[in-house]
A = this chain, B = another copy of it.
Amino acid sequence: MTNCTSDIDPASHHSPDLAIDPGVYGIGDLCREFEVTPRTLRFYEDKGLLAPARDGQRRLYSARDRARIRLILQGRRFGFALDEMRELLDLYDIGDRGRMQAHRIIDHAEQRLAEMEAQRAELDTAIRELRTLIAERRIFAAQPTAS
């Protein structure tokens, strides 16, 4: 009863030959590559963004999983929520096998862009106001008591 469901060897720390890329990675490998903790990848899995294969209990990430991680982290930089990313990845998969869903993805990205620009506008306003208050020494200035 050897627990050998597979002999493939994820590019673990003990076989640091980075030249050969077997297309399968251990969790630690990807954590190092993307500078995230295992908790993060497991969390993404919980959230349905990843579904790596298993060797017994251990997770085996494919090149596709790796690509998805890359996309997730890219989306994160743009402020996409994980739920949103899950949707987008689903669309992406559909686009892979079937019709191009790039259209919808672009739409989504443009929405997000609009949100970011709105946020920027608010932030800009706040910055200007704060600058003014500082310049005029009206920071924390008592308002005239309306009596």
Contact = CB atoms under 8 A, between A and B. Distances in A.
A120 B127 contact: yes
A85 to B, nearest CB: 10
Interface string A55-71: 00000000100010011
Interface stretch (A1-9, A36-44, A45-53, A104-112): A104-112
A140 B79 CA distance: 15
Interface in A55-110: 63, 67, 70-71, 77-79, 88, 92, 102, 105-106, 109-110
B139 A109 contact: yes
A130 interface: yes
6 contacts: A21-B147, A113-B131, A113-B134, A116-B123, A120-B120, A120-B123
